[in-house]
Amino acid sequence: MVWFIVGACVLALVILALTVTILRFNQLSMARSLCDEAKRQLLVELRGRHALVPAYIGTLQQITTRDLSSVELALASAQRAPFGPRGAAAENALTRTIDEAAQIPSQISDRAIAADSTLAMQTGPREELDTTIALLHGQLNVLAERILAGARIYNTNVDLYHRQRERAVSRLFKNVFKAREPFTETDQERSSAEAEPQDQFGASNRTGSAGS
């Protein structure tokens, strides 16, 4: 009778342990899926903005001969940056250059347009271009807000996922459920993102000087 009770207790403990393990595995799997889905949605917004920036640059170039290479370089950096802190820093740098470029139309006076533009434009075409630039910038701002919101959702899911990975039973599956990088800018990545376009531009200038 004693052995029967002991055996029943051991069996109950084994069943409980298996149940807890299976539940933890399922929770980790769900948390990981939420992270991956949030990342997928964030990438959609990032690619949408990347696809719209060339049209924004092209429209700006119709009203000015100013150098827009900073926007082009920021876009290139954002497109090739790995997902994570470096990608977040590159996206923030792209947002800054887009907003700076949006100030160009207001800085060009009507008298300066004829000297600054490749073609002398009448008031009507200029107003249409200004409207187009404002609309494109507005769309880019909307996408920037969506990216910020998507990053917050993704980072929240990553934080919850990492907390679950640190629990006692979850540590058994650490090799199965890998960590996810947050999409947030660090001070180091911010400095790198700001310096990289300058370094690239400086390198292109040095190359051009050497060629000439």
pLDDT digit string (tens) for the chain, length 212 residues: 777 777 778 777 878 778 878 888 898 999 999 999 999 999 999 999 999 999 999 988 888 888 889 999 999 999 999 999 999 999 999 999 999 998 887 776 544 544 554 444 445 577 788 888 889 999 999 999 999 999 999 999 999 999 999 888 888 888 889 999 999 987 666 666 556 554 444 444 433 433 43
pTM of the full structure: 0.77
**211, part of any domain:** no
Are the C-beta atoms of 79 and 107 separated by less than 8 Å?
no
Are the C-beta atoms of 165 and 66 separated by less than 8 Å?
no
Number of domains in the chain: 1
**25, part of any domain:** no
User: Can you give the pLDDT at residue 13?
Assistant: 81
Token pair in block for residue 166: 């640190």
**53, part of any domain:** yes
**155, part of any domain:** yes
For the stretch 21-57, what's the b/e string if a residue is b when 16 or more beta carbons lie within 10 angstroms of its beta carbon?
eeebbeebeebbebbeebbeebbebbeebbeebeebb
User: Can you give the pLDDT at residue 169?
Assistant: 80
Note the Cα 142 to chain centre separation in Å: 14
Are the C-beta atoms of 85 and 181 separated by less than 8 Å?
yes
Nearest of 147, 157, 196, 193 to residue 46 by alpha carbon: 147
**174, part of any domain:** yes
Q: Which residue is listed with tokens 């298996």?
A: 18
Note the Cα 90 to chain centre separation in Å: 7
Residues 6+ apart with CB under 8 A from 97: 70, 71, 74, 197
Torsion of CA 143, 149, 153, 155, to 10 degrees: 90
Task: Supply the range of the domain harboring residue 106.
Answer: 36-115+123-193
**15, part of any domain:** no
User: Can you give the pLDDT at residue 205?
Assistant: 41
**87, part of any domain:** yes
**10, part of any domain:** no
Nearest of 76, 82, 47 to residue 183 by alpha carbon: 82
Q: Which residue is listed with tokens 């008031």?
A: 123
User: Can you give the pLDDT at residue 189?
Assistant: 62
